[in-house]
Amino acid sequence: MDQVSTPNAPQPSGHYSQAIRANGFVFVSGQLPRDPRTGEIPARVADQTRRALENVRQVLLAAGSDLEHIVSLSVYVTDMTFWPEVDAALATTLGAHKPARIVAVSPALHFGNVEVQAIAVTP
């Protein structure tokens, strides 16, 4: 088991790793929609979703995997009224790949309105 870290995704602000690689899996910590270089968060929820997924992608790339190898995706939103916009952004970003997924309302995210957590396999 080893920790995964990349400067291409926001750095942890607490006692956790961006991801852990273990037994052929990559467990990506929840990624918020913060740009790792500027710290900015997009205004639109669809753009926040794409930014969070890009952060997930960067962590997966650092671990030797990618979005196409996600087997489970957890999506947290601050309000379910955002769901159509979030789902459309997920569909656009993931294309034909449809991992197992859970959606949960979490009204108190640290930043933005979306957080994405993923479990992937390494090819």
Q: pLDDT for 43-70, tens place per residue?
A: 999 999 999 999 999 999 999 999 999 9
End-to-end Cα distance, the chain: 16
- Across the chain, mean pLDDT equals 96
* CATH dotted code for 2-121: 3.30.1330.40
The bridge status of strand 2-4 relative to strand 114-121 is unpaired
State mean pLDDT over 11-34: 96
Model confidence pLDDT, tens digit, residues 29-42? 999 999 999 999 99
pLDDT for residue 15 = 94
CA 58 to chain centre: 9
CA distance 105 to 55: 20
Q: Report the half-sphere exposure of 101 (CA within 13 A, side-chain side).
A: 12
pLDDT of residue 13 exceeding 90: no
Lowest mean pLDDT among 10-14, 40-44, 53-57, 116-120: 10-14
Residue 110: band (very low, low, confident or very high) from pLDDT cuts 50, 70, 90? confident
Domain boundaries, the chain: 2-121
